[in-house]
Copies of this chain bind each other. A is one copy, B any other.
Amino acid sequence: MELTHVTVAVDAMGGDRAPEAVLPGVAAALQADPALTVALVGPDEVVAPFATERSRVTPVAASQVIAMDEHPANAVRSKPDSSIVVGCRLVRDGAADAFFSAGSTGACMAAATLIVGRAQGVSRPAIAAIIPAPSRPVVLLDIGANADCKPEHLVQFAFMGAAYARTMLGVAQPSVGLLNIGEEPTKGSALAQAAHALLAQRVPGFIGNVEGRDLPRGAVDVVVTDGFTGNVALKVMEGLSAVLFSEIKSAMTSSPVRAAAAAVLKGSLTQLKHRLDPDAYGGAPLLGIKRPCLIGHGSSGPEAIAAGIAAAARAARLGLVEIVARDVASAGVA
């Protein structure tokens, strides 16, 4: 099947290792996808030389950079010529079909909402994370865009997450769970109780409450929660994963004999680490935005950057945002 041509706007300055990690990531993405064009956004001295050597790269100058620790909305407003803002403008104006950055998630969300705009019918765009549970990838949302939510928002998240699982992960009928602190419908906070009632009424595939331990276990395809709880859950997983792998490494190298044994196992443990690496899915999609926008982890290397660009291209080709908008409209809640 011939691939439709797509253009992805890529933030050359996004991530802790930008632009060094981004440029080879772009090169790898282009090589893997002959129908891809990249609008590479960043300082002229970074993007121009890279573009002159490649026919499918359009350099787009942006003189400013938004740092990871800047206040998202303020930075977007005060830096109109930043790579994130310029990239989002390209998407808004139709010069690009999708946007990818490994920069500040907050700034990307702010720019995407303010510049690209919300998809029709979406009250609150959400950031989703794809958790690589052993049994299946779990779409968790929101992970930080909306610290305080209403039950109606969680219903929209359910439709957006399910649309993502169906379209991008190929799950025919995604199951949806509400993150809560007990199985019974009457458990949890006032928000969780009200959300449970509304989800049960409106969301096909809703299977009820799931608990924290069900997230890493992969008990359902989609888990909805407010952006506060989702962010804490995601960061707890990131932190614990790092701590455990580091502790295991120490335990395994605490004597020469152990180190020799560990060397035999290095390959399979590295494989495991890769398999459990969320970057494999191409970063966090901003769902409910008018065009596909994906955010890579700040620590993204070239492989993760390439995966993110590929996911953005795929989302554009599959019409993800149109499907999200149609499904949210069918939910009938605002």
Contacts and interface: CB of A to CB of B under 8 A. Distances in A.
A236 B239 contact: no
Interface string A242-261: 11100110011010011011
A156 interface: no
Nearest to A186: B71
Contact of A244 (B144, B241, B262, B271): B241
Interface in A204-242: 211-217, 225-229, 231-242
Copies per complex? Answer: 2
Nearest to A234: B212
B239 A179 contact: no
A268 B239 contact: no
Contacts of A215: 236, 239-240
Interface string A18-55: 00000000000000000000000000000000000000
B216 A240 contact: yes
A228 B181 contact: yes
Given A212-B238, A239-B213, A240-B237, A265 B247 contact: no
Nearest to A106: B182
Among A134, A241, A261, the one with the most B-chain Cβ atoms within 10 Å of its Cβ is: A261
A217 B71 CA distance: 25
* Interface of A, helix, strand, loop or mixed by DSSP: helix
Interface in A118-153: 133-134, 144, 147-148
A181 B212 contact: no
A243 B229 contact: no
A190 interface: yes
A168 to B, nearest CB: 23
B238 A251 contact: no
Given A213-B242, A236-B236, 11 more contacts: A147-B189, A181-B227, A189-B228, A232-B233, A244-B276, A247-B272, A251-B265, A252-B268, A258-B264, A261-B265, A265-B265
